[in-house]
Amino acid sequence: MLQSMHTPTNSSTLHLFSNPEKASLYVAQQIADLIRQQQTQGKPAVLGLATGNTPKRVYEELINLHKNEGLSFANVISFNLDEYYPIHPEDTQSYTYFMNRYLFGSIDIKLENIHIPHTNCAANGINEYCKAYEEKIARFGGLDLQLLGIGRNGHIGFNEPGSSFQDTTRLVNLHSLTREDAQTDFGGLENVPHQAISIGIDTIVQARKILLLALGEKKSEIISKALQGEITTRVPASILQNLPHVEYVLDHEAAALIEEAVVA
Ligand code: GLP
């Protein structure tokens, strides 16, 4: 690690790495340590998981640890952050497909312990479904660790600008920038759903540990706003600034516009 410090203006912690590989390995190690620590106490590890390009290397490393170092996921209960609506779980753009491809298909997690908002439920059943998702997280005692990426507009999960900090799991409308960023995956903007189910900001901040991973120059502008700008619902990730159980894990490019980090 290059540098670890309290973020210049607040109480969360910033871990800076010279490249995306090192940052990803650090995150994977944190997750593996938690799983093992819970195992030694005979407890489940309740993980909040994210999708997108950012966590792919983290998941690859977790698979390596499973295959080469015997890391077992038998005690892991997972809850994914979000899913497009509507989408079929077997569609290659769905987050169910993503998670199976990049992680679940290659580890020993029990199928019954995997939770991903499945959005092929009828429109009039969504509120009930979201409430049940939220209750399930609570029934497992809440999230031990939440892994987050960040959207270019500051979204976490699919909590878009304007989301209330009190929101829990619900149906959301996707922001135009979010849909634009997804258009390559969907083969054109017209194919990108307009809505999604997302756990809320309130659900996220209650996790006992939060790791926000951001990599690359594309994220530098929003990272500087989220870490050092005003705390505002216009930048949903800004809520994390004052939380001592939050760690931002950044490579040098993503951290390029953070004032003190650039000087260091
Ligand atoms: C999607 C996901 C977010 C993720 C974001 C960033 O919007 N719902 O959870 O953080 O994409 O994706 P990427 O890591 O590909 O930049």
Q: Which atom of ligand 1 is nearest to the CA of 219?
A: 16
Q: How far apart are CA 22 and CA 67, in angstroms?
A: 20
Catalytic residue selected from 15, 118, 155, 175:
155
Q: What is the pLDDT of residues 131-165, one digit of tens each?
A: 999 999 999 999 999 999 999 999 999 999 999 99
pLDDT at 4 over 70: no
Cα 51 to averaged position of ligand 1 atoms, centre (Å): 6
pLDDT at 263 over 90: no
Q: What number of CA atoms fall less than 13 Å from residue 203's CA on the CB side?
A: 29
Instruction: Judge whether 153 and 229 are in contact, CB under 8 Å.
Output: no
Quick one: tokens of 97? 């497909």
Secondary structure of residue 92 in the 3-state scheme: coil
Q: Look at residue 6 in the predicted model and tell me its pLDDT.
A: 58
Q: Look at residue 242 in the predicted model and tell me its pLDDT.
A: 87
Q: Look at residue 10 in the predicted model and tell me its pLDDT.
A: 67
Q: What percentage of the chain has pLDDT greater than the value 90?
A: 90
CB-neighbour burial class of residue 243 (10 A; exposed 0-12, middle 13-18, buried 19+): middle
Catalytic residue selected from 160, 167, 247, 251:
160
Q: What number of CA atoms fall less than 13 Å from residue 37's CA on the CB side?
A: 9
Secondary structure of residue 205 in the 3-state scheme: helix
> Using 50, 70 and 90 to split pLDDT, how confident is the model at 259?
confident
Quick one: tokens of 182? 């997804």
Q: What mean pLDDT comes out for the span 163-184?
A: 97
Q: What mean pLDDT comes out for the span 56-75?
A: 98
Secondary structure of residue 72 in the 3-state scheme: coil
